[in-house]
Structure 1
Amino acid sequence: MNHDTKQSGAANVVSSHSVFGAPCWVSLTSRDLAATENFYAAVLGWRWRTGKMGDRFRIALADGVPVAGIAAVAALWQMAVAWTPYFAVSDADAAAARARERGGTVAVGPLSFPPGRAALLADRHGATFGIWEGELFTDWDTWRRAAPAFIRLHTRDAFDAAIFYGEVLEWATEKPGCCEVRYEANEVVLRSEGEIVARISSGALEAAPDPTIRPHWQIHFSVSDVAACVEAAEHHGGTVLRQGPDEAVLRDPDGAQFTITSRRDR
């Protein structure tokens, strides 16, 4: 991948300009930071460090690589407890404006969070997502190897959602490095440099939009042993919503839902 970089001391730093349109981070809101840390340490093997924004923020590390952020602000700001994906953009203000113009909602921001700027948005069907402009927390390729297998949007109309996100995040444009969008096996599939990074699903091609679906982005974390992670989740206060041999949908003790997927199924 040909990354755009900027000089930071003696090191080159990857910015959101180089991977625009692709998911580049995931974050979780929490009511109990210590309990959240203990749960994900047990289930996913993460370790923790304090974020630059203070004691209410933590960075999750997988084998020393920053992979996710957790903020103890759900109770303070009366926010829902949930995992949220963030997409890299070259201009947060422009992306937020495009979302508004297309029926989306800008809930927070764009705000300055050095080394970048972020905003929390919702698409026109209510699914929440974030955008990030600026220096990435870690090299994108490294994050992709250490972090989620992929993210999936469950929505009522995959084609309508793909048009919204494509226009807001500049997918399938003529810009060098933009994401590719294709329809495969009843899903819209997003690729960056040939690698699947997101999926948008609403059911079979011939099916009408389902009004009972609550549109949301689901984070899929890759693990080496699904059964062991399920056992750890149950032991530490989590709930198993659905389980198969290679995948399970879990809910943490605070109520946030996520999926674990076998690494061989990535």
Structure 2
Amino acid sequence: MPVQPEGVPCWADAMFADVEGAKSFYGDVLGWTFGESQTEFGNYTEAYANGRAVAAVVPPMPGAEGQSAWCLYFASPDAEATARKIRDNGGELLMEPMRVGDFGSMVLARDPGGVVFGVWQSGTHEGFDVRGEPGAFCWAEVFTRELAKSDAFFPAVFPYRAKTMETPDGMDFRVFHVGEDPVLGRMAMTDEFPPEVPPYINVYFGVDDCDAAVARATERGGTAVWGPMDTPFGRFASLHDPQGAAFSVIDMSRAEGEMPPLADVP
């Protein structure tokens, strides 16, 4: 897959205290297989769907042994320039631009509302080999309580054009576009989220049967949070894996209902 335009999600990984447990869980739920651990890069291990790279798992770095969470990376042609924009717009750099061998350069950051994300400037590793298929990344949404902060920050850092989704229930949902392509959603964290749950980016992986994937996940110690439910985008469910990482699964072939209209943000 060619290098993605600036601001488009291009990679996802997660730190797990029990990497073998994570490999077993996601192998069962999403059908992933795994490559050899790269010891020179902290035992970073790529995951594959039908032989194509879709994500990675890695043990936590010393001092970072907290709850597991997926991290989504956005493409950048210049990681150092993106890092400057993050700082200039009120974000926090958790990891300064760092070269990762010949693979590329990375940044880890937090938006002003507390959402953690990554930036990736590709070298030999261009990111996802495949998207929008079973086992692969399909979509992502920023979940935040600080709507105004996230809504101002992301379009200031990346070349996003924002639109609001007009839904019958008045749900506060925003979609960021690169050109004409929707690349990222933004959801308001309501009172349904316990106060101890931090803001985060929810990553969606494709499945060919949402209900079966949820059943496999819960049988293996995961927790179903929402769904399965039908939407105009597909049948999806939100889950926590056994180590606490949030993610969603979606069967995009099961879309039902009319697509809600989008309105440009003034």
Q: Secondary structure at the match of 1:124?
A: coil
More helix by share: 1
CA contact (8 A) 1:43 1:232 kept: yes
2:141 to 134, 152, 157: 152
Moved more, 89-98 or 50-59: 50-59
Q: Percent same amino acid at aligned positions? A: 26
What aligned pairs does 1:1-266 form with structure 2 within 5 A after superposition? Answer: 14-15=2-3, 18-52=4-38, 53-54=40-41, 56-73=43-60, 77-114=64-101, 115-135=103-123, 137-138=125-126, 142-146=129-133, 147-169=136-158, 171-172=159-160, 180-185=161-166, 186-192=172-178, 194-202=180-188, 214-245=198-229, 246-264=235-253
Give 1:43 shift: 0.3
Q: Counterparts of 1:264 and 1:21 in 2: how far apart (Å)?
A: 26
Q: Counterparts of 2:184 and 2:224 in 1: how far apart (Å)?
A: 23
Amino acid in the other structure paired with 2:226 = R
Give 1:221 shift: 1.3
Amino acid in the other structure paired with 2:33 = R
Give 1:148 shift: 1.8
Q: Counterparts of 2:243 and 2:61 in 1: how far apart (Å)?
A: 10
CA contact (8 A) 1:66 1:137 kept: no
Aligned in 2, Cα 1:161/1:265: closer, same or farther, shift over 3 Å? Answer: farther
Give 1:262 shift: 1.8
Residue 4 of structure 1 is matched in structure 2 by none
Gaps of 5+ in 1: 1-12, 173-179, 205-209
CA contact (8 A) 2:218 2:224 kept: yes
Q: Counterparts of 1:257 and 1:235 in 2: how far apart (Å)?
A: 16
Q: Secondary structure at the match of 1:244?
A: strand
Residue 3 of structure 1 is matched in structure 2 by none
TM-score norm. by structure 2 comes to 0.80
CA contact (8 A) 2:72 2:203 kept: yes
* Number of positions where the alignment pairs a residue of Structure 1 with one of Structure 2: 238
Q: Counterparts of 2:163 and 2:91 in 1: how far apart (Å)?
A: 23
Q: Counterparts of 2:67 and 2:95 in 1: how far apart (Å)?
A: 14
Aligned in 2, Cα 1:214/1:156: closer, same or farther, shift over 3 Å? Answer: same
TM-score norm. by structure 1 comes to 0.80
